Amino acid sequence: MSEFKERVGHGQSATLSVVEGDLLLEGSTVIPADRLVEVRGDVLVKRSSEVKGDLKAGSIRGDGDLEVRGNLETGDIDFRNGASLEVGGNLKSGDADVPHTLRVAGTTATGDIRVGGTALFSGAANTRDVRVGGTLKAMADLKADDVNVGGVLEAKALSCHDVKVGGTLSADSLDADDVQVGGTLKVAGEIKMEDLVVGGTVDLGSGSIQDAHVGSALRATGELRFEDVDVGGHLVLGSGKGQTASIGGFLEVSKDLSLEDELTVGGRAKVGGTVRADSVSVGGELEAQSLTAQSKLAVGHSLATSQGAKADEVEIGNNGSVSGPLVGQEVRVKHGSTTDDIYAGSLWLGDDCSVRNIYAERAEVGRGCRVSGKFQYTEAIELGKDVRLASQPEKVTTLPSPPL
């Protein structure tokens, strides 16, 4: 920096209008002669100082706090040694590096922003890259290229390419390509994301995600549109449309769930409406109004539908329970299970199963099974020992049409 054109010492105040060069502030106060102080050089802040109005400068640097009561327009901002910057109006600058706290009451338009502690934008902010070590609060719209926050990010409307948050991200709306959150993500309104990775929980309104990987739980009150969703714990949706969904624990959908490919649930699934997918695998219990799988349906324990479940291949696990009709080209019901009506091309019943009505082209019935209603077939049947039938099997030309 060249020799200072103007110097305001510690504890001093000066009324300035235009400085034809550089300005040194050493713990001082600057009062604009006519609202604006224009420094046609650089500003160096050595101690905590204040400008009681608008400030325009070539650049600002130093290791003292600076408060600008009005608007601040400058080139690059470079503070050191724990200094803070507070702007009472609008901020327009190049890159801004503030080691402690940055506060802007008005709008913000900058290049890259780096803040070591806390950044607070009360008005709309438009920047390139934003890096904040602690907390970032954007009380209006925040638009940026990349956003990286070590602790907490709160925004009204966040739009960026990539966002990475170590702790919690909460926003009214979120539009981003890649989102990585170590703890919790909360978006009350509309979301649009390509890739989402969250270590903890996610609470959303509605919107679209291409790929989501969530460690604990993902909840969306409205419709969620996605390609692939992988949740370690719980997935709770108003309704869902996508390609694949893998849930380690519990799935709950208030309305319909439609997938082009696979649905895999390790524990329990409860769907208030219909389920459509290429294949469905549930380790525990599955409840839905109706279910249609193009290729395979596998349920480990119990299946309950009001209108029925249909797949090319159906498998019910040992000691399973089925409420509602089963329809499939190949149906396998394992040992000790209880079912309602079965419509099958080929039916295999393990030992000690109980079925209400059987309508099958071919059937192999295990030892000790019980059929409490009709048993109709078109080709052949094989009965194990001690099978109990309410009526004799009837070979027919045409089987009744299934409900699905």
Q: Is the confidence at residue 305, as pLDDT, over 90?
A: yes
Query: How far apart are the C-alpha atoms of 253 and 239, rounded to whole Å?
Result: 6
Q: What is the pLDDT of residues 214-232, one digit of tens each?
A: 999 999 999 999 999 999 9
pTM of the predicted model as reported, rounded to 2 decimal places: 0.92
Q: Summarize the confidence of residues 334-362 as an average pLDDT.
A: 98
| Of 44, 51, 55, nearest in space to 78 by CA | 44
Exposed, middle or buried: residue 156 (CB in 10 Å: 0-12, 13-18, 19+)?
Answer: middle
State pLDDT tens for residues 136-185.
Answer: 999 999 999 999 999 999 999 999 999 999 999 999 999 999 999 999 99
Copy the structure tokens of residue 166: 């170590």
- Measuring CA to CA, how many Å separate 340 from each of 79, 236, 313? 74, 29, 17
* pLDDT tens per residue, range 315-341: 999 999 999 999 999 999 999 999 999
94: Cα separation from own chain's centroid: 33
Please say if the pLDDT value at position 3 is more than 80: no
Q: What is the pLDDT of residue 1?
A: 41
Sign of the torsion formed by the C-alpha atoms of 95, 101, 106 and 107 = positive
